[in-house]
Amino acid sequence: MIPWWLVAVLIFGANFVLWGSMGLLRMLTTSFAASYDRVARRIRPPLSRRGSGCFPGDVDLGRGAAGDPPFGTDRVAVLMAAHNEELVINDSLDSVTELVPRENVYVVSDGSTDRTVELAERAGVNVISTWSNVGKAGALQQAIERFRLVEHYPAVLLLDADTRLDRNYFRAALPLFGDPRVAAVAGFVRTDWDRGGISPLGRLLVSHRQRIYALSQYLLKFGQTWLRCNATHIVPGFASMYRTEVLPHIEMNPPGLVIEDFNMTFEVYQKRLGKVGFTPAAVAVTQDPDNLRDYVRQTKRWALGLWQTVRRHRPRTNLFTCMLLLLLTELLTSSLLMVALPLVLLLLLLPLLFPGTADLVVLGPLHDAVSGYVSLFSLLLAVVVVDLSLTLLVTLALRKPRFLVFGAFFLFLRILDAALSLYTLPLAWLTRSTGRWRSPGRRAPAPSPVEPNPSVGTDVTTSSGSGA
């Protein structure tokens, strides 16, 4: 009989334990460095801001890095690729132009047929259009070359047109570039789930996505981006920064890939261009699908992008490859187990509900075979209880009771995610993507008579957009 805890590890993975432990060590190390720094300041004036934690002067990871950034926002370029984003681009541009000069913001319209170009020009930022619909990676590459961003700026923020920056984004993220080893800084994603006009199913979908974001960023990425053991599989393209000096060494738009951010991250590690910085304080808010069709389509796109990137990059003898192999192994095993879970539960429950089924020619032997390895109680404990415990953990961490409302349904969406991941695996080797995009439907913000609130939306949707 397989013990329940082993089933839980096989389904939820050892990655959470491994990188969660690294994250805890990172937090403790940084807290110790902060305490030491405070004591040292009482004894003598500080000679430098260099800390002994993950990043220079990284005193309080809850608030971001405390050291001085090597350059200001006036030397940061913001590059936004957009395809038919008229409903959301104003909000995104408003959020970023409050933080950087308008002349630093560059929009590349990738074959847009709506008012995307007009609205970007009205915002007073730099705007170009591609000759045709070339896809996000191709549009970014064209803009970097045509605007000569590598020559004019030390860093560039790649920002999706449906994403709004938190006011403290640069204050938290820029100091991480104080360490010369950091080639890229990953943003901390939060879903825009407070929009109005979302159906109950839509709220379930965005809550599920936010739960994934919280668990993956706090329990995986925070540990993976500790500079002492740095290896993360993605710098998400919704709102992340790169040193411009590494961009000429990154093949941003290779043929056959559906998305660019996995590939750019692999290029950073496999070409030894540097490491990835990350702080939970560098927050950006993005829109996630609030209907099942868009959710399935986006999840398939992300999963296919991962497998395509794995296909493209051969393994190397480094920490990144080891981390990736562990991640992919657990992704495969947990996906297979999650997809098989409904059938296993059915085989274990049928004899209890209908005693006569135990004597049937096929179901009887199958039940005996399955029950010899796992019991109904251990399966419920390993899967249902653990999943609900993770939901409770996220509820407490984010102080959002709505997770408890949807907690009983997250497991069904995890099964759907697993099935989509397995479905796209052979497609990565059998098909080639053009990179052209058709993103989830967008929701325009609702006007407020008092003060504009970008977290509130209307029921207006469109079926095309940029980004994730």
Query: Has residue 145 got a pLDDT over 80?
Result: yes
6 φ/ψ sector (left φ>0, alpha ψ -120 to 50, else beta): alpha
pLDDT at 232 over 60: yes
Residue 465 has pLDDT above 80, yes or no: no
Q: Report which secondary-structure segment, H or E, holds 236.
A: none
Report the range of poorest mean pLDDT among 32-41, 79-88, 188-197, 239-248.
32-41
User: Coil, helix or strand for 106?
Assistant: strand
Tell me which residue of 465, 439, 468, 434 sits closest to 254, measured CA to CA: 434
How many domains are there within the chain? Answer: 1
Q: How far apart are CA 76 and CA 379, in angstroms?
A: 51
What is the average per-residue pLDDT within 237-246?
97
Q: CB of 26 within 8 A of CB of 222?
A: yes
- Is the pLDDT higher at 460 or at 186? 186
pLDDT band of residue 16 (cuts 50, 70, 90) is confident
Tokens describing residue 229: 């053991």
Q: Beta 442-445 vs 239-243: how paired, if at all?
A: unpaired
For the segment 417-425, the average pLDDT, to the nearest whole number, is: 97
Query: Is the predicted pLDDT of residue 452 greater than 70, yes or no?
Result: no
Burial class for 229, CB neighbours closer than 10 Å (0-12, 13-18, 19+): middle
List CB contacts of 67: < 8 A, sequence separation 6 or more: 49, 50, 51, 55, 56, 57, 58, 59, 175, 178
Specify the pairing of strand 239-243 against strand 163-165: unpaired
The phi and psi torsions of 70 (rounded to 5 degrees) equal -75, -20
Does the pLDDT of residue 56 top 50, yes or no? no
Amino acid at the residue 100? V
Q: What is the DSSP string of 328-379?
A: HHHHHHHHHHHHHHHHHHHHHHHHHH-GGGGGSTTHHHHHHHHHTT--HHHH
For residue 289, give the H/E element and its range: none
Instruction: Judge whether 427 and 308 are in contact, CB under 8 Å.
Output: no
Least reliable range by pLDDT among 131-140, 327-336, 350-359: 350-359
What's the pLDDT score for residue 269? Answer: 97
Domain span at 200 = 1-468
Q: What is the pLDDT of residue 43?
A: 65
Over residues 309-348, the pLDDT tens digits come to: 999 999 999 999 999 999 999 999 999 999 999 999 988 8
* Mean pLDDT, rounded, of the chain: 86
Q: One-letter amino acid identity for 250?
A: I
Contact in structure between 455 and 194 (CB atoms under 8 Å): yes
Cα 1–chain centre separation: 37
Matching residue, tokens 């001085």: 68
Tell me the CB-side half-sphere exposure of residue 103, using CA atoms within 13 A. 4
pTM score, two decimals? 0.86
Q: Identify the pLDDT of residue 17.
A: 85
pLDDT greater than 80 at residue 160: yes
pLDDT value at position 439?
Answer: 63
Q: What is the DSSP letter of 279?
A: E
The pLDDT of residue 36 is 61
Tokens coding 418:
């697993």
pLDDT at 47: 39
CATH number of the domain that residue 167 is part of: 3.90.550.10
> What does the pLDDT look like over 365-403, one tens digit per residue?
887 888 888 888 999 999 999 999 999 999 999 999 999
N-to-C CA span, the chain: 42
Name, in order, each residue with C-beta under 8 angstroms of 378's C-beta and a sequence gap of 6 or more: 1, 2, 3, 4, 7
Instruction: Point out the least confidently predicted range of 50-54, 196-200, 289-293, 404-408.
Output: 50-54
Handedness of CA 70, 73, 77, 79 (dihedral sign): positive
Nearest to 381 by CA among 3, 52, 23, 68: 3
